[in-house]
Structures are given as structure tokens and as C-alpha cells.
């Protein structure tokens, strides 16, 4: 238990040391930013300051950045992640729907052509080749590793 308290105090001292390197305006901004986002903002500021004193547009922007700006940015990132999740889910649902339609089509085809197995065999081979070509053409296979 004592080790945890010592670690927390050391981290707090580190954070205060990091604040000492920054201008007074930046310290105020960093203190008002939520703890989760503070590290990312500090890294951005640190990288800007490492440019050798060169006044960069990012540094000027950081001087004007407020808590509302950071909150708005984080909210935008959250919405983008939600949209990406929805898009991925919708793609999976669409793919499942297509698979069901194809299975129904093949089942109907088998029922209609059960009296003519030679024609059924040729039709099924042709459809299998078309489906494999479509999937390959749309990138499913070795290169489709997003999901």
C-alpha cells in the first residue's frame, strides 16, 4: 500500500516538473484538461517546443486552445469511432443478407433442376466460379484483414 502512495507522489512530482517547462498560459490550460487527455496534449506541446524555439502554427494554436476546444475535439473523435463501428456492423449485416439470398437462390435452383443433374452440375460450377471471382474482385481473401 505504501509503495502505491510513493508511486503516485512520484508521478505527481513528474507532472509538476513537466508543467514547469511550459509557459504560464499553457499550465492553466493543461490543468483544466481532463486527466485522460492531458498526456496527449502535453506530448503535442513538447514536440512543438522541441522544434528549437521555432514558432510553429501548432504552438500558436496551443496557446489559444481552451478546455472547450479539447472537449469538442474529443467528442468529434468519439463520434468518428462510433460511425466507424456502425459502418463495420452495417457491412457485416449486408454481407449476411447477401449470403442468405444466395443460399435461397441455390436452394430454389436445386429444387427446380433436381430432375436434370447434368444441367444442375454445370450451373452450380458456373455460379461458384462467378461468386469466387466476385469475392476476389472485391478484395476478400488474403488482403481483407480489417475485421
5-26 pLDDT, tens digit per residue, is 555 555 554 454 445 556 676 6
**Contact indicator for 48, 21 with CB cutoff of 8 Å:** no
pLDDT at 100 over 90: yes
Q: What is the pTM of this model?
A: 0.46
CA dihedral (108, 111, 113, 119) positive or negative: positive
Measured CA to CA, the distance from residue 41 to residue 58 in angstroms comes to 11
Q: Where are the domains of the chain?
A: 2-65, 85-137
pLDDT for res 16: 47
Percent of the chain residues past pLDDT 90, beyond the cut? 18
Mean pLDDT, residues 68-85: 91
Cell numbers that stand for 37 in this block? 487527455
pLDDT at 43 over 80: no
Amino acid at each position: 500500500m505504501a509503495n502505491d502512495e510513493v508511486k503516485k507522489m512520484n508521478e505527481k512530482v513528474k507532472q509538476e516538473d513537466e508543467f514547469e517547462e511550459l509557459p504560464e498560459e499553457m499550465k492553466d490550460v493543461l490543468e483544466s484538461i481532463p486527466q485522460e487527455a492531458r498526456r496527449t496534449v502535453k506530448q503535442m506541446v513538447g514536440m512543438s517546443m522541441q522544434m528549437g524555439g521555432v514558432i510553429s502554427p501548432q504552438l500558436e494554436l496551443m496557446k489559444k486552445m481552451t478546455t472547450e476546444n479539447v472537449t469538442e475535439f474529443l467528442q468529434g473523435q468519439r463520434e468518428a469511432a462510433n460511425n466507424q463501428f456502425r459502418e463495420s456492423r452495417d457491412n457485416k449485416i449486408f454481407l449476411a443478407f447477401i449470403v442468405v439470398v444466395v443460399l435461397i437462390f441455390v436452394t430454389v435452383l436445386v429444387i427446380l433442376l433436381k430432375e436434370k443433374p447434368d444441367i444442375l452440375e454445370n450451373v452450380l460450377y458456373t455460379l461458384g466460379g462467378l461468386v469466387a471471382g466476385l469475392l476476389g474482385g472485391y478484395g476478400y481473401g488474403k488482403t481483407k484483414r480489417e475485421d
